[in-house]
């Protein structure tokens, strides 16, 4: 088992009775994830795909020993769902919800710093440990076990690159989507640290995009602390300034957050930067030379 999860991970699904929650509960369970129940206020006592439903996260934790949660609820309810999971001492919270207001996330980010919980997301595809566990919406068939850790701001680009690695015979220890919103729970630096400390991970692929300075912070961390090779790809080179590219955080403002700026910082930190996703496998092979 790799970063963020262990063989003891026991997952609950917040919003399990909704369309998305129900669908992804089945997909995750079929992949092998140990789902112990779900939460929907007012629907305690029901069952979804053989999993018990509880009215609150605390009741679910008390009854099942859950230590992880995935949040599959609309943006209007997601902040409360995150707070509820934190207050129930859930160790890992994955939020796939898109559209949570930045101000709400700023409060959540400050609140969670003083707890034992870790938040991945929001607007995250979740995480995937090949052939073992997935928490989120990543398609399981794209991945295969190996020694490369993948961390990304993008969902669909993650799928493309992980599948490219698999087709090239390069397996992964863990694939983690940190989310594309301006304020997220777990950033590149924190994931790089986890991969650096993971004995199963030998190399890392970092997938970034325009907007913000997350990749520049990552470059500084890599330069100072990383001993494992890192290969990167930055999306959005052709995006015009001031236009949001898919994600709320993917926007160039005041000339900051451009692709050349990020590539320069990463290359100066010793990172091999791919010109396109298809060249990543070759750069990983070069990192072994």
pLDDT tens per residue, range 30-68: 999 999 999 999 999 999 999 999 999 999 999 999 999
Establish whether 24 is a catalytic residue: no
Total structural domains in the chain?
Answer: 2
Q: Worst-scoring range by mean pLDDT, 80-84, 91-95, 152-156, 198-202?
A: 152-156
Band of the pLDDT at 251, cuts 50, 70, 90?
very low
The whole-model pTM stands at 0.94
Which residues have C-beta within 8 Å of that of residue 210, sequence separation ≥ 6? 234, 235, 236, 237, 239, 245, 250, 251, 252, 257, 258, 259, 262
Q: Average pLDDT over the chain, rounded to whole?
A: 93
- Same domain, yes or no, for 30 and 152? no
For residue 73, give its domain range. Answer: 11-120
| The predicted structure's pLDDT at residue 256 | 59
Q: Are 203 and 71 members of one domain?
A: no
Q: Residue 42: which CATH number?
A: 3.40.50.720
> Same structural domain for residues 59 and 105?
yes
Q: What pLDDT does residue 154 have?
A: 87
User: Distance of CA 104 to CAs 11, 49, 53, 138, 156, Å?
Assistant: 24, 32, 27, 26, 25
Domain of residue 153, CATH code: 3.40.50.261
Picking from 58, 61, 72, 65, the residue whose alpha carbon sits closest to that of residue 27 is 72
239 assigned to some structural domain: yes
Residues 270 and 147 in one domain: yes
Q: Once rounded to an integer, what is the mean pLDDT over residues 212-218? A: 94
User: E strands along 168-261, which residues?
Assistant: 172-177, 203-209, 230-235
* Residue 5 maps to a domain: no
In a domain, 4, yes or no: no
In 44-181, alpha helices (H): 57-64, 78-87, 102-112, 156-167
Q: How would you classify the pairing of strands 203-209 and 230-235?
A: parallel
What is the rounded average pLDDT of the residues 11-18? 98
Quickly state the pLDDT bin for 101 (edges 50, 70, 90). very high
Q: Give yes or no: residues 157 and 101 share one domain.
A: no
Whether the predicted pLDDT of 105 surpasses 90: yes
Nearest to 48 by CA among 29, 75, 76: 29
Same domain, 232 and 177: yes
Which is catalytic among the residues 49, 107, 114, 247? 247
pLDDT band for position 288 (cuts 50, 70, 90): confident
| Assigned token pair, 65 | 């020993």
H/E run at residue 152: strand 145-152
């Amino acid at each position: 088992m790799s970063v963020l999860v262990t063989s003891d991970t026991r997952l609950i699904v917040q919003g399990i009775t909704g369309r998305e929650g129900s669908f992804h509960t089945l997909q995750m369970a079929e992949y092998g994830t140990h789902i112990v129940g779900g939460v929907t206020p007012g629907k305690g006592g029901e069952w979804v795909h053989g999993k018990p439903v509880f009215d609150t996260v605390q009741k679910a934790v008390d009854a099942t020993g859950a230590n992880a949660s995935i949040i599959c609820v609309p943006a209007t309810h997601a902040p409360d769902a995150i707070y509820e999971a934190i207050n129930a001492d859930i160790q890992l919270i994955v939020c796939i919800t898109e559209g949570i207001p930045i101000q709400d996330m700023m409060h959540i980010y400050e609140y969670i710093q003083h707890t034992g919980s870790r938040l991945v997301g929001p607007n995250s595809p979740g995480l995937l440990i090949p052939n073992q566990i997935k928490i989120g919406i990543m398609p399981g068939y794209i991945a295969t076990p190996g020694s490369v850790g993948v961390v990304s701001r993008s969902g669909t680009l993650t799928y493309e690159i992980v599948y490219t690695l698999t087709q090239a015979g390069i397996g992964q220890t863990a694939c983690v989507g940190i989310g594309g919103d301006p304020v997220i729970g777990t950033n590149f630096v924190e994931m790089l640290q986890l991969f650096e400390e993971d004995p199963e991970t030998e190399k890392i692929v970092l997938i970034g995009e325009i907007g913000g300075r997350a990749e520049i912070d990552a470059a500084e961390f890599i330069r100072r602390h990383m001993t494992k090779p890192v290969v990167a790809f930055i999306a959005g080179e052709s995006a015009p300034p001031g236009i949001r590219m898919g994600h709320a955080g993917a926007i160039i403002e005041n000339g900051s957050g451009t692709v050349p700026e990020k590539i320069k910082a990463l290359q100066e930190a010793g990172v091999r930067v791919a010109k396109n996703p298809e060249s990543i496998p070759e750069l990983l092979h070069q990192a072994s030379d």
